[in-house]
Structure 1
C-alpha cells in the first residue's frame, strides 16, 4: 500500500474510532428514521429532541447519508464547534483560552480534543509526504536561515522608512509596531540558534554536558534513519507527554500566583501546542507542494502567537506579555529537547 493510501486508511480508522464513541442503536423504518418514544440508549421517556438523561439524540437516523454525516462530525465537528474554535485559535488564542477556563465551553472544542485531532492529522500528513521530505533533506533548516536574513533585511528597510518619516515630523507608530513584532520573532530564532538546539542534529560536535541529552543526540547521529523511524513511531503515542512537560515551565512565569492555577496553565499549553501542531501540518503540506519557504516563514509565527495568547489569557500588560514571551520561547525549546529525550529513551541502549 502506498504512503498516501496508508494515510487515508489512518484517517478513516481514526474517524470510525471517534464515531464508535456514539454508536446508533435500535431499529429504523424504511425511511431510515426511528420513531421511538423512549431513549434507545438508556430507556428514559423522551421529551424533546434529545434524551435529558444521557444526551443521545431522540431519533436515530439509519441511512448512508446519516452515517457519512456522523463520520465527518466525528472528525471535525462540522456542526459548529470546530469552525468556532479554529478562528479564535488562529487570531485570538488568549480569548479562546480564557473563555474555556472561565467555563464558556459549549461552543468550542476542548483543548485536548483539538490537540489530539491535530496530532492525528499531522502524522497522517507526514506519512503522505514522507517521500518528498526525504528528497528535500535539510531544506527547511536552510529556508529558516534564509528567512531570518530576509526578515532582518525587512527590518532595516522599515527603519529607513521610519527615519524618513521622523525627519518629516510624521507619525511612526505603525512602523514602530511592525519593527517591534519582526524583531521579536528574529530575536527568538537567534536565541534558539545561540542555545545550540538547531546544531544538535546537524552533525556538528555539540556537547551539552548533560549525559542524557548527549546520549539521545548520539543515538540520532549514529543511525538517523532508525532514530527518525522511532520518532515517527513513538512521537504519535507520546505526544500528550508534551503537555505535562510544558506546564511547569509556564507555571514559572507566574510563581505562587493566586489568580492563575495549574489548570489554567494546562489549558493554555494545550491550545498553544494545538496551534504549533497546525503550523507543522501547513509546513509539511507546503513542502510537499514545492513551497518549502513557507516553513521558514511560519517559524516566526509562534513567538507572536505566544505573545497574543499570554496577553489576553492572563490580562497582562504589553511589557508583562513581552518579557514572558522570551522566556516561553526558551522554555518551549527546552520542552522539545526533553520530549526528544523521552522518545529516544524508547529505542533502548
Structure 2
C-alpha cells in the first residue's frame, strides 16, 4: 500500500502545483469554433479574451490521462526550464520571476507544492517513516536500563551456550570469548549507571505522572503523547508536509531582517526567494534519499547534505540581491542561524497542534 499512497501523493502534488500555476504564455492547442463554450463570447483567437478558456476543448478519455500526466510532471515545458536554474542559478530564477518572467517558469508556490509532495512520496516508496514500536516506558530511565541489561544478558547467554558446544581446538572460541567479555562489560556498565539513579526514581519516581496545568486540551494532549508516542509521532510526521507551507511565513520576517534598510526589496521578493529555496532543499532531500537507496556511501551523502544547502543559499542570495561574495557569505551565516530558529518554531507549532488536536 505504500507504493499506492506514494503515487497518490505524487499525483496530488502535481495537481495542486498545476492548480496554482498560471497558464499565461502556454500552448493550449488550436482554436476550435467561433464561440467560447464557457461564457459565450465570440472568439478572436485560440483563447477567450473574456474568461481565458481555450477555444479547443477535449471530450475523450485520453484527454483525462493527458491532463493527469500534464499536471504531475509536464507543466507545459516550464519544469524543464525551471529545474536547471533552481539547481545552479537559483538567484537568477528568483530575480527573473520577480521582474515579470512568469510564463517561462514554474511559479514558486507550484514548485513548492510539487517538491514537497514528491519528497514525501519518495519517503513512502522507500519505507522511510517514524518508528512504530515505541513504548512510553522507554521514557523512564530505570525501565530503559533494565531493558538494556536484560537484552545484554540474553546475548551473553546465547554466546556462552554456543561456546560450550565448541571443541577446545575450535578457532571460533577466541572470538566468542571476546564477545562474552564485551557483554560482561556492557552489563556492568548498565548496572553501574542504574546505581547512579537516585533512590526515589528507582522506587517509582520516574513513573509518568498525570499533568494538571488547568488547560484541559493541553493536559489531554500530553496524556495522548504519554500513552501512545508512536501514534503521535506518526501524526507529527503527517503534519510536517501538510503544514510545511508554514515555513514560508515563518521565514519571510527573518529574511527581511537581512535587507530591511534596502527599500527596493519588498516582502513579495523575499517570499519568492524563500519559496524557491525551500523547493530546492526539498529536491535536494529527494536526491540524497534516492542516492542512499542506491547504496552510495553514507559519508559522501553526509558531506553532500551539509555542504550543498549553504552553498546554494549563498549563490541565491548573491544572484537575487546583487551582492558581493563577502556580503553574501556573511548573510548566509546569519540565515543559517535564523533557519535553526525557524525550524524550532515550526516543530513547536506542530507539536502544539498535535497536542491540541
Counterpart selection for 1:317 from 324, 327, 330: 324
Aligned residues: 258
Question: 1:21, 1:270 → 2: CA distance?
Answer: 14
Question: 1:238, 1:230 → 2: CA distance?
Answer: 12
Matched, 1:286 2:291: yes
Conserved? CA contact 2:16–2:113, under 8 Å: no
| 1:1-349 superposed matches below 5 A | 2-13=1-12, 15=14, 35-130=32-127, 225-291=230-296, 293=298, 295-296=301-302, 297-348=304-355
Query: SS where residue 286 of structure 1 aligns?
Result: helix
Question: 1:15, 1:334 → 2: CA distance?
Answer: 30
Question: 1:18, 1:109 → 2: CA distance?
Answer: 9
Query: SS where residue 354 of structure 2 aligns?
Result: coil
Which string of whole-angstrom CA distances, capped at 9 and with x for unpartnered residues, describes residues 119-141 of structure 1?
A: 11112222222258869xxxxxx
Larger radius of gyration: 2
Which string of whole-angstrom CA distances, capped at 9 and with x for unpartnered residues, describes residues 104-126 of structure 1?
A: 21101111111011111112222
Question: 1:101, 1:53 → 2: CA distance?
Answer: 26
Q: CA deviation at 1:52?
A: 1.8
**TM-score for the superposition, normalised by structure 2:** 0.65
Question: 1:316, 1:274 → 2: CA distance?
Answer: 22
Structure 1 residues 86 and 131, CA gap change in structure 2 (3 angstroms): closer
Q: CA deviation at 1:272?
A: 0.5
Structure 1 spans left out of the alignment, 5+ residues: 23-32, 136-215
Structure 1 residues 271 and 18, CA gap change in structure 2 (3 angstroms): closer
Indicate the RMSD between aligned Cα atoms, in angstroms.
3.1
Structure 2 spans left out of the alignment, 5+ residues: 22-29, 133-220
Which string of whole-angstrom CA distances, capped at 9 and with x for unpartnered residues, describes residues 35-70 of structure 1?
A: 532111221111222222222211112234332221
Structure 1 residues 298 and 224, CA gap change in structure 2 (3 angstroms): farther
Query: SS where residue 348 of structure 1 aligns?
Result: helix
**TM-score for the superposition, normalised by structure 1:** 0.66
Question: 1:105, 1:17 → 2: CA distance?
Answer: 18
Question: 2:45, 2:315 → 1: CA distance?
Answer: 42
Q: CA deviation at 1:245?
A: 0.6
